[in-house]
């Protein structure tokens, strides 16, 4: 059977490729950004109640109307669409924004799926060194630029972009006519009193240039329920909904009820979750200090560890180093998959004892 050129060119998700290895018996998984905390009881009760009511049939393709309304308000958009996770939302957004011959600017380091999602739209990713700086972005903008992807807090670096940098990018977007695609998967997890600034919240005009992605996976540990969201101007969401209608009937209806319950929760459960991951961030930084260089992450679940001191004679690159660490019983992501050769992405989603053992195993490999 002949395989299309587009399918043949698509790279497998590096995170998913390595996840199977991380699940081997005895391996400590510091690979994925999957919170180990349980979803709040109210979320699970809402899902069970939907099942008990027999809500097992189709909902509207773009999502329950009440959930879409709540998402639009929370995400500073005129309208919203409910997707099967942030990956589907990203895919649909780029299908609307870009096509063959177009360009989308991606800041390094980046989530592994961004370049592939751009290519699946037929467009070309153009890479710019991060963190976000409008002057650097401006040098990469051409007449073919359709969007700039902004991810704050950033996966993998944990950087949180300041309001001033986002305002400068918005002015550039207004001048050059491109969209800002804001991935806010980790917006609930910021530390040290740092504040997140959603680009769509800057002004009414900025909201008309911004498309926002969010997910319930990270915020409320709903990874298996697959609920993500896309918000933006009405005409954009209408176009995305047309594509969405050919990709899926709808997101699981009881899972949408769970998402609606999550949006109605008070601030205190989320603050407890945020504080828990800040403690884990602090521990991971303390454990990593003798082994790697790094900038303390202001958000997300990841430490972006500079491992270049360990490369050369023993390990030729970040992939070889990650393989050696896996053989030593701990799974981490090589930075090359995120556009950052010489680095490792280390997740601090695990409990303190697991983090301590994981870094102990890394020390045994790196400092024999």
288 and 147 share one domain: no
End residue of a domain, out of 263, 285, 313: 263
Contact partners, residue 173, CB within 8 Å, separation at least 6 = 148, 179, 180, 209
Alpha carbons 72 and 78: distance in angstroms, whole number? 6
Output the furthest CA–CA distance in the chain (Å, rounded): 63
58 and 137 share one domain: yes
Does this model's pTM top 0.85? My answer is yes
203 and 282 share one domain: no
190 and 100 share one domain: yes
Helix axes 14-22, 318-327, angle to 10 degrees: 20
pLDDT at position 250, please?
A: 93
End residue of a domain, out of 248, 263, 278: 263
235 and 324 share one domain: no
Block mean pLDDT (10 aa), the chain, length 368: 75 66 83 90 96 93 97 97 96 97 98 96 96 97 98 97 98 98 97 97 98 96 94 98 93 96 95 97 98 97 97 92 95 95 96 97 93
pLDDT at position 4, please?
A: 77
User: What are the strands, taking DSSP E only, across 35-93?
Assistant: 79-83
113 and 194 share one domain: yes
The domain spanning residue 91 has which CATH number? 3.40.640.10
272 and 168 share one domain: no
185 and 302 share one domain: no
∠281-353-266 over CA atoms, to 5°? 50
pLDDT at position 5, please?
A: 75
274 and 259 share one domain: no
pLDDT at position 303, please?
A: 98
Local structure of residue 145 (DSSP, 8 states): E
Look at the chain and report how many structural domains it folds into: 2
Burial class (CB in 10 A: 0-12, 13-18, 19+), 190: buried
End residue of a domain, out of 263, 290, 306: 263
**Residue 227 near residue 258 (C-beta atoms within 8 A):** yes
Alpha carbons 109 and 120: distance in angstroms, whole number? 20
30 and 92 share one domain: no
Cis geometry, peptide bond prior to residue 131 (ω within 30 degrees of 0) = yes
**Residue 176 near residue 213 (C-beta atoms within 8 A):** no
Domain range for residue 202?
41-263
Contact partners, residue 149, CB within 8 Å, separation at least 6 = 104, 105, 106, 107, 110, 114, 181, 183
Contact partners, residue 303, CB within 8 Å, separation at least 6 = 158, 281, 284, 285, 288, 292, 294, 297, 345, 346, 347, 348
Contact partners, residue 120, CB within 8 Å, separation at least 6 = 6, 10, 91, 94
pLDDT at position 97, please?
A: 97
The domain spanning residue 34 has which CATH number? 3.90.1150.10
82 and 12 share one domain: no
235 and 289 share one domain: no
Alpha carbons 69 and 281: distance in angstroms, whole number? 34
Alpha carbons 245 and 362: distance in angstroms, whole number? 46
Phi, psi torsion values for 296, nearest 5 degrees: -60, 125
Q: Which is it for strands 302-306 and 343-347: parallel, antiparallel or unpaired?
A: antiparallel
């Amino acid at each position: 059977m002949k395989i299309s050129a587009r399918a043949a060119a698509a790279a497998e998700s590096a995170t998913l490729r390595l996840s199977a290895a991380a699940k081997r018996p005895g391996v400590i998984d510091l690979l994925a950004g999957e919170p180990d905390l349980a979803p709040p009881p109210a979320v699970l009760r809402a899902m069970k109640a939907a099942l008990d009511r027999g809500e097992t049939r189709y909902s509207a393709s773009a999502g329950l109307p009440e959930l879409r309304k709540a998402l639009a308000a929370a995400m500073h958009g005129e309208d919203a669409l409910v997707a099967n996770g942030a990956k589907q939302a990203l895919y649909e957004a780029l299908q609307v924004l870009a096509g063959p011959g177009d360009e989308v600017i991606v800041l390094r380091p980046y989530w592994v799926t961004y370049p592939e999602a751009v290519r699946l739209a037929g467009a070309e990713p153009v890479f710019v060194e991060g963190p976000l700086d409008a002057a650097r972005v401006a040098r990469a903008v051409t007449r073919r630029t359709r969007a700039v992807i902004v991810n704050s807090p950033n996966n993998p670096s944990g950087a949180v972009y300041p309001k001033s940098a986002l305002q400068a990018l918005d002015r550039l977007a207004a001048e050059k006519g491109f969209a800002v695609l804001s991935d806010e998967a980790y917006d609930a997890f910021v530390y040290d009193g740092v504040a997140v600034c959603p680009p769509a919240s800057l002004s009414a005009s900025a909201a008309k240039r911004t498309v926002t992605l969010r997910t319930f996976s990270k915020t409320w540990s709903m990874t298996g329920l697959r609920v993500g969201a896309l918000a933006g101007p009405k005409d954009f969401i209408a176009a995305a909904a047309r594509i969405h209608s050919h990709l899926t009937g709808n997101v699981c209806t009881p899972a949408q009820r769970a998402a609606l319950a999550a949006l109605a929760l008070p601030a205190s459960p989320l603050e407890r979750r945020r504080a828990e991951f800040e403690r884990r961030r602090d521990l991971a930084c303390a454990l990593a200090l003798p082994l790697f260089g790094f900038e303390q992450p202001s958000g997300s679940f990841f430490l972006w560890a500079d491992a270049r001191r360990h490369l050369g004679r023993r390990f030729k690159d970040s992939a070889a180093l990650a393989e050696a660490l896996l053989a030593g019983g701990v799974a981490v992501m090589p930075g090359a998959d995120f556009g950052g050769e010489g680095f490792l992405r280390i997740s601090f989603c695990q409990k303190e004892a697991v983090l301590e053992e994981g870094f102990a195993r890394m020390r045994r490999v790196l400092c024999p």
